[in-house]
Amino acid sequence: MDEPATPLTPTMIRVEEEEYDLLRSFYAEKRRAPMNQVEFDEKYGYQKRQKEGGKLKKQSTKVASRYYEPFTSCSNFKTFLFNLFPILGWLPSYNWKNDLTADIVGGITVGVLQIPQGIAYAILSRQEPIVGLYTSIFPVFIYIFFGTSKHASLGTFAVVALMTGLAVEREAYIPSDNLNSTLLPGDQELPSPIDVSCALVLGVGLVQFMMGVFRLQFLTTYLSDQLIAGFTTGSAVHVLVSQFKELFGMRGLVKHSGPGYLIRNVFDIIMNMPNANLMCCAISFVTMVLLQCGKEFVNPVVKRKLKSNIPIPWELVAVILTTIFVALTNANDVYNVKIVNKIPTGLPELSLPQPSLIPRVLPDAISIAVVVVAVHLSLSKMLAKKYQYDLDAGQELYALSFTAIGGSFFPTFPTSIGLGRTMVGVESGVKTQMATFFSCLFVLSVSLYFGRFLETLPMCVLSAIIVVALKSMLWKLGDLPGLWRLSKIDCCIWMVAFFATVLVDVSEGLIIAISFALFTTILREQYPKWHLLANVKDTDEFRDTQHYQEVIFIKGICIFRFDAPLLFHNIECFKKCVEKAYESWKSSPEFNSVYQVKPKDHRFVFEGVHRIAPVYQQPHHPGLHRDPILSRHFVIDCSGFTFIDLMGVSALKEVFSDLRKKQVQVYFASAKIPVRDMFEKCNFYDFVSKENFYPTLRDATGIARLRQNKFGFIDTPRAPEFDEVSNVTNNLPNH
C-alpha cells in the first residue's frame, strides 16, 4: 500500500527543476527595458481617473438615501423591517427539532449564572439586589428582537457596574451605614440611586443610537486590544478594592472621591483591618475556596466523566449554601453579618427616566457606551467568524441602543456582554438567540417566586463571587513580560491604560489611554525608520542593507527609503534622514569610485535598448560645474509615501534642490498614484521634471547605470533653487 502523501502547508509549493527553468526563462523573456514614468504610462495606457463632479452632493445623497429609501416602495420597506428586526428573519426558519433542546439547556445554564452575578453587580452599582435581576431580564429580552449575534449573553458586567456605581455615588443620595454620619444640607433633595441609574441607562442608549445613525462603529477601532486589556484590568483593581469592605465586614469607612481615591481607600482598609468581622472573613474565605476548587478541579473532572459541557454553577451553589447557613445560625444578629434583607417579588412598575439628570451623567454615559460597544463588537465578531454566520455591526449598535432605551423604563443599570457567561453558553450548546429567551424566563421565575428565599444571603458572599470572577482579568498582569518582548509600544499602551485607570479614575483613565494610544501612532509616523537599499544578488530586487548580506552596492548610486507618509509633523525628520543617508553614502567607497562595466556582469543592459531614455546630451550651462569623476545619482524610493501633504511636497523640493547643488542627480521611484496626483495639483512637476520619476527602483537604477556607462557623467541645467523662506512666509498671515 502506498504511504499517504505528506500534506503541504499553504506556503510550500513544490516546483520541479524543469518547471523552475521554464518559469525563469518566462520572466527573462518578459523583462522590459528600463524607462521613466512618462514612458511607462504611455506604453501601458495609463488613464487618469476622471474627477466626479458634485462628489460631495452625491455622497450626501447616498447618506440621506439610507433614511428615506425604505419608504419609497413596499419591497424596500419590507427589507428595512427585516433588517431592523432580525427576529423576523431567523424565527420563521428556526430549526425547532435540532436547536430547541440545545437552546433550552444553554439558556437555563446562562440564566443560572445571571442570578448570583446580577445580585452581586447590583450591589457594586450601588443598587438594590433585585435591580440586578431586572437588568438580566428586561433589557436582555429586548435584544432578542434586534440583535444579530446568536451567542452574545447580555446582562451585568463588572466594569460597567463599577462605572455606574461611581456615577451614582457622585449624583445620588446614598444612606451611609455609619451610625455616626451626619446628614449634609441638601442630601435629601438629591435623586435616588435608581433615578440616576435609569437616567444613565437612557443616556447610554441615546449615545449608542447616535453612533448607529452616523455609522460611528469605526470609533471602536481606536480602542486596541491592549488598551481594552489594560483598562479592564485597571477597572478590575477598582472593583477588587471596592469589595474589601463587604468581604471583611467593615463598617463606617469614609467614602473618598476624585483622582487617586483608590489609594486612600486602600489605606483606610489597611488601617481598619483590626475592626474586620471574623465571621464575614471566614464565610468569604470558604466561599472563595469553594468557587476556586469547584471551577478549577471539580468541573473538569465532571466534564470528563459525564462527557457534558454544562458546568456546575458553583456561584449558585455558594449562594444557596451560605443563605441556608446564615438562616440556621442567625449569623446576621449573632455575628453582625450583613445580609441582603428583603427582596421584593413581582414585576416592577414602569417609570419614566428623569431627563434633567441626563446632562449630569452624560460624560459617564459616553464612557460606558464606548466600553460596551467595543467589548460587544470584538467578542461578537469573534464568535460570528468562528461559527460562520453574519454579524451586522451597524445593526448591533441599534440593538444595544434599543436595549438600553427600553431598559431605562424599568429599574435597571447599563447592560453589557459578559465574556464568562457568553463562553459558558457557547460550551453549553447555545445555537440561536432563542437561548436568551429561556435565560430571561428562568431569571424572571426566580425574581417572581424564589427571591424571598434569598433574604438571608450574606453580602460578603456576593463580594467573594465578584473577587473570584475578577481572577481572569487580574491575571492579565502576567502577560506583560511577553507583551514587552513582542511590542514595547503596545506594552506601554497597556501600562498607561492600567495605571491611569488605577491612579486617576475609571472614566478619566479611559480618556488618557485613548489619547496616549493616538499619540503613539503620531509618534511612530513622526520618527519612522529609514533605510539604504541595495540590489539583492542575482535578482532585480532591492532590499534593506541592514538585514540582507548578499547584496550589491552600485557605484555612484544611493537608494533611500523613508517608511512613513510625508506629512507636516515628520518633514524635519525626513530631511535629516536624507542628510544622514547622503553623509553615509559620501563616506562609503561607492561615492567616488568609477564603476567599470564588465560585459559578463552587466545585468542591467537589456536587449532592444537602443537609447538611454530619457537621457540626452544637453548644452553646457555656463554656471554648471563639470564633475570629472562620476555622475552621482540619489534615488528616493517613494513606495513608503502612502500619502503626502503640502509641506511634504515642499520638503521634497528642498531635498531635490539641496542635492542638485551638490552635483547629485535625484530620482523618484515607485510613487503611488495618489502621491503623483498631489504632485500635479501642487505644480511639483514645474520644479522637478516628470522625467525624474520612474515606475520601479529597477527602472531608476537601470537608467542611472546606463547614464554612467554611456557618459560617465552628464551635464544638466542648473536646478532651480528652492526658497524655503519665501515658501514659509507665503503661508503665514501678514498681520
Beta-bridge mates of residue 551: 536
d(CA 387, CA 410): 34
Q: Write the pLDDT tens digit of every residue in 281-291.
A: 999 999 999 99
List Cβ neighbours of 77 (8 Å cut-off, separation of 6 or more).
70, 71
208 versus 12: the higher-pLDDT residue is: 208
Mean pLDDT within 209-217 = 89
Mean pLDDT within 676-695 = 91
**Are residues 305 and 319 in contact, defined by beta-carbon separation less than 8 angstroms?**
no
What per-residue confidence (pLDDT) applies to 8? 42
Distances (CA, A) of 423 to 256, 433, 497: 36, 14, 26
What per-residue confidence (pLDDT) applies to 627? 38
User: Which amino acid would we find at residue 18?
Assistant: E
Cell of residue 496, nine digits: 498607561
Q: Write the pLDDT tens digit of every residue in 499-552.
A: 999 999 888 999 999 999 999 988 888 888 899 999 998 888 899 988 898 888
What per-residue confidence (pLDDT) applies to 592? 62
Q: Return the percentage of the chain with pLDDT > 90, whole number.
A: 53
Torsion of CA 67, 69, 75, 77, to 10 degrees: 20
Q: Write the pLDDT tens digit of every residue in 412-433.
A: 999 999 888 999 899 888 999 9
Q: Write the pLDDT tens digit of every residue in 15-34.
A: 455 655 655 555 555 678 88
What per-residue confidence (pLDDT) applies to 45? 87
What per-residue confidence (pLDDT) applies to 595? 41
What per-residue confidence (pLDDT) applies to 186? 54
The mean-pLDDT minimum among 163-172, 252-261, 439-448, 520-529 falls in: 252-261
Model confidence at 248, pLDDT cuts 50, 70, 90, reads very high
Q: Write the pLDDT tens digit of every residue in 217-235.
A: 888 888 888 999 999 999 9
DSSP state of 126: T
Q: Write the pLDDT tens digit of every residue in 111-166.
A: 999 999 999 999 999 999 999 999 999 999 999 999 999 999 999 999 999 999 99
* pLDDT of 651 higher than 70: yes
Cell of residue 178, nine digits: 455609619
d(CA 100, CA 422): 18
611 versus 252: the higher-pLDDT residue is: 252
Mean pLDDT within 103-116 = 92
SS3 535: strand
Model confidence at 377, pLDDT cuts 50, 70, 90, reads very high
* pLDDT of 629 higher than 80: no
Summary mean pLDDT of the chain: 84
* pLDDT of 181 higher than 90: no
Q: Write the pLDDT tens digit of every residue in 538-592.
A: 888 899 988 898 888 888 899 999 999 999 989 999 999 999 999 999 988 877 6
d(CA 213, CA 35): 51
d(CA 115, CA 130): 10
Residues in the chain: 735
* pLDDT of 358 higher than 50: yes
678 versus 23: the higher-pLDDT residue is: 678
Mean pLDDT within 666-672 = 94
List Cβ neighbours of 455 (8 Å cut-off, separation of 6 or more).
339, 340, 341, 342, 343
The mean-pLDDT minimum among 137-146, 624-633, 639-648 falls in: 624-633
**Residue located via cell numbers 416602495:** 73
Beta-bridge mates of residue 636: 560, 668
Question: How does strand 557-562 pair with strand 632-637?
Answer: parallel
Cite the beta strand spans of 646-711 per DSSP E.
Answer: 664-669, 693-694
* pLDDT of 684 higher than 50: yes
What proportions of the chain, in percent to the nearest 5, are helix, strand and coil? 60, 5, 35
Cell of residue 168, nine digits: 451614582
* pLDDT of 722 higher than 80: no
